[in-house]
Every structure is written in structure tokens, then in C-alpha cells.
Amino acid sequence: MSEDTEVVTLTGWLLEQIAEDEARLTTPGDGRHSAHAWDAVGTFSPRCQTCLEALYGSRQKGMAECAAKRRVVEIAGRRSARTPAPTPWDDILYALASVYADRPGFREEWRA
């Protein structure tokens, strides 16, 4: 990345997205919803235990995934910030950011 401020912005934004995922996983769900169909993506509800289990296997696995993503972002962010030239660590951050491309604040230059 060309500027350390961009690294901070990207890592900060990624950490916010992970925190949002964690909040969804820890917020008590309202149970199954009536929109279940064969199209699991189109009918996904983050407050539905059945949807979360289909996505992560369990809430515990989802929380473990969030913790792992958080650790990767922290490590990659520190390593990337050490140099103004692009590094493989930047590619890792971009790959993680692309998972959240549909969320507010995502910037096209982060697309992997």
C-alpha cells in the first residue's frame, strides 16, 4: 500500500466488520424464520439459529472464525504498515476485505 493511513483505514474497517459479525453471532436470535427455501443465500437471516448453523456449523465455530480473522488482520496490518511498498500482507488484507464487499465503507481498491 502506498500510505500507512490507508493501512490503518483498511485494518480498522476490517476489524469493525469482524466486530459486527461477532455481534450478530452473540445477539439472541428470534428463532427460525418463514423465508427458508432452497436458496440459502437469498433467505439468510443472521438472527436465525438454523441459518447460522448452516453458515458456520455452530455459533461457537462462527466466533472462532471471527477470532482467527481478527488475529490475521492484526498481524497483516502491522506487517503491512512497516513498508510503503505493496507487500503480500496487503494481498491478505484485500482478500479478507473482499468478503465484506457488500458492506458500507468498502472501497473498490480493496477488492482482491
Percent above pLDDT 90 for the chain: 44
Domain membership of residue 104 (yes or no) is yes
pLDDT in tens, 31-79: 556 666 555 556 667 667 777 777 777 788 889 999 999 999 999 999 9
Number of domains in the chain: 1
d(CA 112, CA 95): 5
d(CA 108, CA 103): 12
Domain ranges, residue 90: 4-27+60-110
Q: Is 0.95 surpassed by the pTM of this model? A: no
Domain membership of residue 32 (yes or no) is no
Could you tell me how many residues make up the chain?
A: 112
Domain membership of residue 41 (yes or no) is no
Question: How far is C-alpha 81 from the chain's CA centre?
Answer: 20
Evaluate whether 89 touches 10 at the Cβ level (below 8 Å).
Answer: no
Domain membership of residue 14 (yes or no) is yes
